[in-house]
């Protein structure tokens, strides 16, 4: 797959509508094409910003009735002075009643107010990152590429990332707490390649995205599209955990992570 083929799939991928076979081909292309990764990230951010707080408002029935009443009546076929009738109709179109004008002004002000509200209510960086995390989690599941390195040994999973990213992610053994390690993979968030550590709670995968720096936004606990998320910072890294397990299970997982050896936060 080249960039031309990938561009035809990026919009569908951002909307979560790309087929499984195309998703696998696209994932392979994204591994080596930072330009397409950036394009996909921009599309996901645009989609999240568009959907955030979007509302629809229907005009009141009274306003519709007034507008319909102000429209010119159908011309009478038997009326000979058609020009005068048409002129009168157009004058009626542009000379609405004060009540209709006031109603239209109110709708205009409401639209302006809604636009200002939406401008001021743009999603935060944390919201955008959360949406990207969920999209990556789902994309990994539907493409059967949720795990690149399969192992329950953290001493196997951690070295696997060497040379693939420019930082060493923390990998912890949480099997005793009921969250066995099953492997790891590479993924993309906000246009950068990041490490994902994969655990399980019964049959529910838990992805831990390890993002360097503290600039990916703060969210705490949240829910997106039925998936539970929690984010926290430690030792110069930003962590995002996402799962379809319960919020209580995810809370227990994060506590187990923090309690693990070497998990004291700054």
Q: What is the pLDDT of residue 29?
A: 84
Q: What is the pLDDT of residue 114?
A: 60
Q: Where are the domains of the chain?
A: 61-120, 124-259
Q: What is the pLDDT of residue 119?
A: 46
217 contacts 125 by C-beta, under 8 angstroms: yes
Distance of CA 263 to the CA centre of its chain: 30
Give exposure, 227-258, as e/b (b: 16+ Cβ within 10 Å).
bbbbbbebeebbbbbbbbbeeebbebbbebbe
24 Cβ partners below 8 Å, 6+ apart? 143, 144, 145
d(C-alpha 183, C-alpha 181), whole Å: 6
d(C-alpha 188, C-alpha 43), whole Å: 13
104 contacts 131 by C-beta, under 8 angstroms: no
Phi and psi at residue 39, in whole multiples of 5°?
A: -65, -40
121 contacts 52 by C-beta, under 8 angstroms: yes
> Hey, what CATH topology would domain 124-259 get?
Phosphorylase Kinase; domain 1 (3.30.200)
From the list 123, 138, 135, 115, the residue with the least C-alpha distance to 46 is: 123
Rounding to the nearest 10 degrees, give the CA dihedral for residues 12, 29, 163, 167.
-20
The alpha carbons of the chain give a radius of gyration, in whole angstroms, of 27
- How many other CB atoms sit within 10 Å of the CB of residue 62? 11
**Could you list the pLDDT tens digit for every one of the 266 residues in the chain?**
788 777 778 777 877 776 777 777 888 888 888 778 877 777 776 666 665 555 556 677 787 788 877 777 665 555 455 555 555 554 554 455 565 556 666 666 666 566 555 545 555 666 778 888 888 888 777 776 788 999 999 999 999 999 999 999 999 999 999 999 999 999 888 778 899 999 999 989 999 999 987 555 566 777 877 889 998 888 888 899 999 999 999 999 999 998 886 544 43
d(C-alpha 82, C-alpha 79), whole Å: 6
Q: What is the pLDDT of residue 11?
A: 77
Q: What is the pLDDT of residue 24?
A: 79
């Amino acid at each position: 797959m080249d960039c031309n083929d990938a561009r035809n799939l990026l919009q569908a991928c951002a909307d979560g509508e790309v087929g499984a076979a195309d998703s696998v081909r696209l994932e392979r292309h994204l591994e080596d094409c930072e330009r397409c990764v950036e394009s996909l990230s921009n599309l996901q951010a645009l989609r999240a910003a568009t959907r955030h707080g979007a509302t629809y408002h229907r005009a009141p029935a009274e306003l519709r009735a007034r507008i319909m009443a102000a429209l010119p009546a159908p011309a009478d076929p038997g009326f000979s002075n058609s020009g005068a009738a048409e002129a009168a109709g157009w004058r009626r179109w542009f000379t609405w009643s004060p009540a209709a004008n006031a109603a239209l002004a109110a709708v205009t002000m409401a639209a302006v107010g809604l636009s200002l509200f939406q401008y001021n209510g743009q999603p935060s960086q944390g919201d955008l990152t959360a949406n990207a995390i969920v999209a990556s989690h789902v994309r990994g599941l539907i493409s059967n590429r949720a795990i690149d390195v399969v192992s329950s040994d953290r001493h196997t999973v951690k070295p696997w990332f060497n040379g693939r990213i420019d930082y060493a992610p923390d990998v912890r053994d949480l099997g005793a707490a009921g969250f066995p390690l099953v492997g790891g993979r590479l993924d993309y968030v906000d246009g950068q390649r990041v490490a994902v550590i994969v655990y399980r709670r019964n049959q529910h995968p838990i992805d831990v995205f390890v993002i360097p720096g503290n600039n990916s936004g703060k969210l705490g606990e949240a829910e997106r599209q039925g998936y539970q998320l929690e984010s926290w910072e430690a030792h110069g890294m930003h962590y995002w955990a996402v799962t379809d397990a319960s919020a209580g299970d995810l809370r227990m997982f994060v506590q187990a992570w923090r309690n693990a050896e070497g998990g004291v936060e700054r």
